[in-house]
Structure 1
Amino acid sequence: MSKKHGVLLVNLGTPDEPTSAGVKRFLGEFLHDKRVVDMTRWLWCPILHGVILPIRAPKVAKLYQSVWMDDGSPLMVYSKRQKQLLQAELNVPVELGMTYGSPSIEAGLAALKEQGCDKVVVLPLYPQYSQTTTAAVFDKLAKSIKAWPELPEFRFVNHYFEHPDYISALAQSASDFWAEHGQPDYLLCSYHGIPKRYADNGDPYPVHCNQTTALLAESLDLPREKMSMSYQSIFGREEWLQPYTDKTIEALAKKGVKRLDVMCPAFSVDCLETLEEIAEECKAVFIEAGGESFNLIPCLNDNSAHITMMANLVKQNTQGWGE
């Protein structure tokens, strides 16, 4: 079998089905990862399995049901499209691997191995690095190949928060949306939050988010008084990165912003956190606080500029492989 390189596209993952049991399995794996929740296991596990999962899983399952697509979870539907389009663009094997749930990172690597790939570019679809996301991918990758007698050569994409193609794709997405729907009074970039303590201990995530926002504002030629950033998806009682998205949206409405558009640059595909938390919950907050028009600008998903950016990242990371 000829040797060649392949690509492993990685995202967080999703429940296999929008049921309490499906969500409980997924959240159980996700929230058990020390990269995500670093609390002492003997204290955290009883809370997780005895309190959080039994209460949270049925509620989250209903939210998933509200955004579920004909072919499955939005995250999985868009991820499969990304895989197919990137494979066609590069003409090399591309497989999906999810940090939690299926298809697993281990299954994705095994599929590439079966296709003769002895070199693998691992592309976590997290533009901004965080220990809770990108580092968790690396952990699962290492664990997956621990028993392999011969390892492929890996090249790991650590982040791409300032990559020109990424910023250009975000800007084009906003411009295209405004060309169809008109300009907003204000643009808010909402990023997934992490505990503030993680950043205090060295996680560069907020620095990356700030830089993405600044580069996007520059590319869109938007004055910063008409654009800012915030953090969503807060969980638990400790302090997370601020400002919080829901509080920011409420304050903007009370200041007189009538039309608000929101982008979620940290999410490579639309998912529960964008389609339900932002487009539904945050919209309700904005309208209740006096706003009139609220729009979610879709994630980059499977649009052509996004696929081109991924292809260019892979090409940059395969230089010197001589194929």
Structure 2
Amino acid sequence: MKRAVVLFNLGGPDAPQSVQPFLFNLFNDKAIIGLPQPLRWLVAKLISTRRAPVAREIYENLGGKSPLLELTQAQARDLEVSLSAASPGDDFKVVIAMRYWHPFSGEAAAQLKAFGPDEITLLPLYPQFSTTTTGSSALEWAKAAKDAGLSAPTRTVCCYPMQDDFITAHAEMLKPYVADGAARVLFSAHGLPKRVVERGDPYQWQVEQTVAATVQALDVPGLDYVTCYQSRVGPLEWIGPSTEDEIERAGREGKPLVVVPIAFVSEHSETLVELDIEYGELAEKAGVPDYKRVPALGTHPSYVVALTSAVLGAVGGVAPNTGKRICPKGFSQCPCDRQGERAA
């Protein structure tokens, strides 16, 4: 059987001249800015034009471009090898569909059209579901697949925030940093406007479940930790506490910090620049005695196993291994609610 896997990821500019169009694509997404067209186009044009110079300075720290594509390609290669070893009778092809820069969903769909898959699994590199990430990518993929004439049965792994091997990977990465019990751990995730969560988006709840499961797997008595959120932009109220506020609090309390990118599985500007450089400088200014950052999971063997299990265990287009919802009732934007599923 020919089995295709589509890896969803954010994407990032591949050159300085790509920064502004990348930002425009981001802010022109209805899942990010909910205005109707043509107002959304105008707002996206204004924001991307204003933010591009600052963003280009950020990417100068990374050699003028995002490393995300190359890192996602490495994950795709390792996943393809792992899937082939786990199911040797099948022919696997893993492709990448970035949301806001190349390769877009249309490019990935064209690759699969040439491959001719018998089935397709959509696999987000966003472990926790949000309408602004996985939800947006899935909608874009549906349009691209239709345009390409792809008719193979398609399943979606919506999320895997508590998947055993995913949690094991986080615990294995973090454990050397907390062996002496001296540091406070900041589990930092990308934030969302509060109104997105209030509309029923399960992202924050799922992030908290990932943190709780990681702490349990670590089994470090008395671990001092906080779940917090970074990357706030604009005037809206965002979910909290903010990572910046927690860094400043640690400085006031003279507490060393270990920061974990709990919702990012690849290095990119939010980890290499925001966490490492900007927040590192903030920590020094705030008087934090020691500031360390755990790397993103990348191609950690346990994470690759988690992705493999998610693909091979995808059932019913919902959650890996069970096909049942993991979110409590009340999250109206959970894919299970939209598909009429009952809570497990």
Listed as ranges, the gaps of 5+ residues in structure 2 are 85-91, 317-344
Match of 1:162 in 2: 162
Aligned residues: 309
Deviation at 1:112, TM superposition (A): 2.1
Trace 1:68-217 onto structure 2 (pairs within 5 A).
68=63, 73-91=66-84, 92-149=92-149, 151-177=151-177, 184-217=182-215
| SS at 1:94 equivalent | strand
Paired residue type of 2:250: L
TM-score (norm 2): 0.85
Paired residue type of 1:33: D
Conserved 8 A contact 2:126-2:134:
yes
User: Out of 31, 45, 49, which is 1:35 matched to?
Assistant: 31
Match of 1:235 in 2: 233
Task: Say if 2:43 is the partner of 1:47.
Answer: yes
Distance 2:150 2:168 in 1: 39
Paired residue type of 2:52: A
Listed as ranges, the gaps of 5+ residues in structure 1 are none
Deviation at 1:67, TM superposition (A): 2.0
TM-score (norm 1): 0.90
Match of 1:265 in 2: 262
Deviation at 1:183, TM superposition (A): 5.3
Paired residue type of 1:45: W
Distance 1:238 1:110 in 2: 38
Trace 1:219-298 onto structure 2 (pairs within 5 A).
219-222=217-220, 226-257=224-255, 259-298=256-295
Q: 1:150 to 1:287 in 2, by over 3 A?
A: closer
| SS at 1:16 equivalent | coil
Match of 2:7 in 1: 9
Paired residue type of 2:67: P
User: Out of 37, 54, 57, which is 1:62 matched to?
Assistant: 57
Deviation at 1:317, TM superposition (A): 2.0
Distance 2:63 2:290 in 1: 25
Deviation at 1:22, TM superposition (A): 1.0
Paired residue type of 1:117: P
Name the Cα RMSD after superposition.
1.9
Distance 1:311 1:242 in 2: 32
Distance 1:197 1:187 in 2: 27
Distance 1:218 1:316 in 2: 24
Q: 1:217 to 1:40 in 2, by over 3 A?
A: same
Deviation at 1:135, TM superposition (A): 0.3
Q: 1:150 to 1:234 in 2, by over 3 A?
A: closer
Q: 1:106 to 1:176 in 2, by over 3 A?
A: farther
Distance 2:286 2:95 in 1: 44
Deviation at 1:107, TM superposition (A): 1.4
